[in-house]
Amino acid sequence: MSTTGSNTGGTPGNTTGSTARGAEETRRALLAAAGELFTSAGYDRTSVRAIAERAGVNQSLLFRYFGNKEALFAQVVAAQGLDVLHGGPPEELLERTLRSILHRDGEATGGLFDSALRSAASSEAVDAVRDELGSAYGAAFADLTGEAGGGGEDAALRAELLLGWLLGINLLRNVFRSEAVRSADPDVVVGHVSRAAGALLGAVDSDLCDS
Give contact residues for DNA (rule: CB under 7 A). Answer: 1-5, 8, 10-16, 19-23, 25-26, 45-50, 56-61, 63-64, 68-70
Helix axes 48-55, 23-41, angle to 10 degrees: 130
Which segment (16-24, 61-69, 90-98, 119-127) binds a copy of itself by CB under 8 A? 119-127
d(CA 20, CA 149): 52
- Collect all residues with Cβ–Cβ distance below 8 Å to 133 and sequence separation of at least 6: 81, 112, 116, 163, 167
119 binds a copy of itself (CB under 8 A): yes
Three-state secondary structure call for residue 43: coil
Of the candidate spans 23-31, 73-81, 85-93, 172-180, the one that interacts with a copy of itself by CB under 8 A turns out to be 172-180
Residue 58 interface partner, choices a copy of itself, DNA, none, CB cut-off 5-8 Å depending on type: DNA
Vertex 133 angle, CA 67 and 88, to 5° = 110
The piece of 3-11, 79-87, 92-100, 188-196 that touches a copy of itself (CB under 8 A) is: 188-196
Tell me how far CA of residue 174 lies from CA of 106, 109, 167, in angstroms.
9, 8, 10
Q: Pick between residue 67 and residue 168 the one whose CB is nearest to a copy of itself.
A: 168
- Would you tell me how many other CB atoms lie within 10 Å of the CB of residue 140? 19
Choose, by CB under 8 A, the member of 178, 186, 187, 203 that binds a copy of itself.
178
The answer to whether 47 contacts a copy of itself (rule: CB under 8 A) is no
Q: Which range of residues in 16-24, 51-59, 79-87, 110-118 is near a copy of itself by CB under 8 A? A: 110-118
Q: How far is CA 51 from CA 22, 26, 75, 129, in A?
A: 18, 12, 14, 19
- Nearer Cβ to DNA (69/158): 69
Binding of a copy of itself at residue 158 (CB under 8 A)?
yes
Q: How far is CA 121 from the centre of its chain?
A: 16
CB atoms < 10 A from the CB of 34, how many?
26
Number of residues that bind a copy of itself (CB under 8 A): 56
Helices (H), 86-122: 93-102, 112-118
User: For binding to a copy of itself (CB under 8 A), which residues are involved?
Assistant: 41-45, 116-122, 126, 129-130, 133-134, 154, 156-161, 163-169, 171-173, 175-181, 184, 188-189, 192-193, 195-200, 205, 208-209, 211
